[in-house]
Structure 1
Amino acid sequence: MGHWLVIDLEATTEEGGWPLEEMEIIEIGASLVAADGHELDHFQRFVRPQRRPCLTTFCRELTHISQANVDGAAPLSEVWTAFERWLGPYVPHLAGWASWGEYDRRQLELEWQRQQLDSALNQIPHLNLKQRFAEARQLKRAVGLNTALQISGLQFIGQQHRALEDARNTARLLPLVLPA
């Protein structure tokens, strides 16, 4: 059984949400885990948004990411290069990559296209863990990450709506939905 990469993104937003096309990644968190959910390595970087460089009050309060965090960060093109360099040695061992829901995959695909970025993730299957969890637990509808953890008898560890903590908590649910 190979390793899994669990990715979570934080992005610019406003109360009530923005369309995907208007959102920009402000933090990338990735947890590389063995099939049993044990973390082997991780990646976390802030990203400086280009189109709307000032975070909304709602966004800062939701994510606990400060304006200074993003002002001091590199743009996505540079951060993504660093991410791919970090990911490179692990790619041959990856069974797939996962996120909680479709948002992270769709946001990444949009940015790769918009900025002409290459990604090894394009060659690796994506698992929508939110959907898979709902199916595994025979839930009528998909639930949020926090609810899924509670259903599984787990507590959220760390700060919610921070990319690496969200990715790590998502990874804890992986062994519960993957075939043994």
Structure 2
Amino acid sequence: MCFKKDLIACVDMEFNIANNTKVDSKEIVEIGVVIIDSARNEICSFSSKIRPTSGRLSDNTCKFLSVSRAEIVSSPSIQEVFKNMEQAIAPYLPRLKYWCSWGDLDYVVVNHFRRKLGLQTKLFSVVDYVDAQETMAMNVPSVRNKLGLMDAVEDYGDGWAGSHHNALDDARNMASLVGFWRV
């Protein structure tokens, strides 16, 4: 069966804040996924906190994300979350044109964890990836290359909605910008 590739997955991840900036020190502690159609209508969403694989969680992370330590530490493992995410979005995977994130850090970190833990995920291994921040900067002349997501949404999107640095809210806000680039 042949499917039209007409959907986009906007993905945002939040990380444990560590003193070390190396990729292998990053821990995904939350993920938000919003699947939209070509008219930017939300078709599906998924969100979950993720228990750090190392078991370590900085106080700065909890403050930054406005969550309790218990909320993250009691969350499912990354393996469970990715399995649940794949189940939630499975009906839409054949129609996904690409998945995007604001900047490439999410892409780099998720691929590090895929290799490190042997995570099986079609979204991050089969579906094409687009750096939304870079692509928007290349396609909209007035956008500065490193414009933050909130500034971009305020200037070009539907206006910020929800909590900044909540993965699902950030993914939804990113979705309001999708019409500004062509891939």
TM-score scaled by length of structure 1: 0.91
> Of the two structures, which has the highest relative contact order with CA contacts closer than 8 Å and spacing of 6 or more?
1
Aligned counterpart, 2:100: 98
Does the alignment pair 1:44 with 2:47?
Answer: yes
Aligned counterpart, 2:91: 89
Matches within 5 A, 1:1-150: 2-14=6-18, 18-51=21-54, 53-121=55-123, 122-138=125-141, 139-150=143-154
Aligned counterpart, 1:164: 168
Identity in percent: 24
Equivalent residue letter for 2:26: M
- Alpha-carbon offset, residue 151 of structure 1: 2.2
- Alpha-carbon offset, residue 50 of structure 1: 2.2
RMSD, matched Cα: 1.6
Superposed CA deviations along residues 119-158 of structure 1, whole A, max 9, x for unmatched, are: 2121111111000111122235231101111221642111
- Alpha-carbon offset, residue 27 of structure 1: 0.6
Superposed CA deviations along residues 58-91 of structure 1, whole A, max 9, x for unmatched, are: 2112111221111221110111111111122111
Superposed CA deviations along residues 45-65 of structure 1, whole A, max 9, x for unmatched, are: 1111121x3422221121112
Q: How many residues align?
A: 177
Aligned counterpart, 2:178: 174
Equivalent residue letter for 2:23: L
Q: How far, CA to CA, are the matches of 1:65 and 1:110 in structure 2?
A: 25
Aligned counterpart, 1:155: 159
Task: Mark the runs of 5 or more structure 2 residues left unpaired by the alignment.
Answer: none
